[in-house]
Amino acid sequence: MIKKFLYLLFFIGFFSSAFFLTDFYAKNELKKMNNLDCPAKRIEGVSRCKKEDVMNYIIHPLSTEWNNIVKKNFDTDEIELIKQTMRVENMPNPHWIYHPRLLYVKGRANNKFYTTGQDGVRSNGENRECTNLLLNDKNIAKIFIFGGSTAEGHGLPGFRTISYFLNQMVKSNGYRVFNFGTGAYDFKRSSDYISYLLKRGHKPDIIIFFGGLNQITSNSKSPYRQSDKLIFHGWRDSLKDSGLKYLKKGDGQGLEDSFTLLQRIKNLNIVKFFKYKNTTEEIKSKKIYNISPFEDNFDPHFHELVFLNSAEVADKNKVFLTEQLLKSYVIEDDFVTKISQAYGADFLNIFQPFGLIDTRNPMKKEGFSSAAGFEYYKYAYESMKKFIQLSDKNIIDGTKWLAENSDNNNYIDLNHYSGVANKIIAEKIFDHLKQQSKYKESKINSYVLDCERGEY
């Protein structure tokens, strides 16, 4: 009896040791595939950290080099004041939250740097109550700005954004500007936002889309078919970090997280290792860019693997991806143009300046153009500019708007603009606004809300 018991213990110990050793090996191999222990993103089978992703090849905020650059650009040695203004420490900009119609939106925030009001509008420095009063006042002519984090004014207080400066310029003609820019929003996500707000009863006189960078990015980082593109910042971790919760099956909203035994087995490292071991060629193939997330064989783990290797995949498929990009851009432009007309609003579509492409951007490390992903970005960027030039679409090319700033203090990081740059951009938008039929119809009236007599 004791002998049998010892045999049993031996077999339990042997198989347990074998399992844990195998699991340890599989876990490390999966790390190599996903580069979870490496700042560079590499396709499996290629030695790690050999070539950095374009988004990592930058001067990082709070580094000594970054401090020197921003002190020069902002003409001050008070680095703590700069950090506070740019909100690079304990950044109080809101997390994303789940939304039943738009997938995600900005969460609520109310501090001296960042305040959100009704339906995700960002205040231009005034308090939330004033923003909401202005937004809902039928006596005020309105301009709505949409786009990603650059339109939103990421890294800057509300009184240094494009919408703030533009608001100061249009007040004399009776208009007010409302900032609906949202981090990670591309043209498609913005067009959904526009239609949602119109259906909610908002009636802007002029609608502005300011973007382009996120459209190029999300087009490569999300492997789904064009109609189902999701957040380009990642599949699982970004959702969790942003406050979007994994929900148990049956909760009726959000993502499902099954806790069945079969799901637990599928999530074992050794099972995932053998499943993804031979996916290199499939990842490199452009076929991955037209996947439906509504099919039975949908696998978010594989798609996360695609996302983590997207920089090099995009370089290899830059022509196909750019063709897909241009088609989707035309679709969204047509949609927003028509829905704006249907609701009696003028529409301006602006292709933004790219800090990632700008050779004068001091936030890029030397050799930036050799980083993985740059080849795709540059090809898509140049193709978009050429398309705008040759197209009969009324798209404004704003890519050179910051070139005239000889002080070269346009950026606070790789892609986001400084307050100086935002003022220049606002002036350029204002020049185009003055040509719009709606804006030429002066909305001047003596009616002013009390809250506007303050900082607004």
Looking at residue 427, its pLDDT comes to 98
Count, residues in the chain: 456
- Residue owning tokens 């009969």: 392
**CA–CA distance, 349 with 346 (Å, rounded to integer):** 10
Is residue 58 helix, strand or coil?
strand
Parse the chain into domains and list their residue ranges: 64-218+319-453
CB 352 within 8 A of CB 398: yes
CATH superfamily of the domain spanning 64-218+319-453? SGNH hydrolase (3.40.50.1110)
Amino acid identity for residue 361 in this structure: N
- 437 CB-contact burial (10 Å; exposed 0-12 / middle 13-18 / buried 19+): exposed
Looking at residue 41, its pLDDT comes to 39
Looking at residue 165, its pLDDT comes to 96
Is residue 372 helix, strand or coil?
strand
Helices then strands (H, E): number in the chain?
18, 9
Looking at residue 225, its pLDDT comes to 65
Which residue positions in the chain have pLDDT lower than 70? 1, 5, 7, 29-51, 60-62, 69-95, 222-306, 308, 442, 444-456
Task: Quick: pLDDT tens for 86-131.
Answer: 555 444 455 677 788 887 888 788 777 788 889 999 999 888 888 9
Looking at residue 455, its pLDDT comes to 44
**CA–CA distance, 44 with 48 (Å, rounded to integer):** 9
CB 159 within 8 A of CB 222: no
Q: pTM, whole model, 2 decimals? A: 0.78
- Residue owning tokens 């637990």: 264
Give the number of other CB atoms < 10 A from CB of residue 234: 19
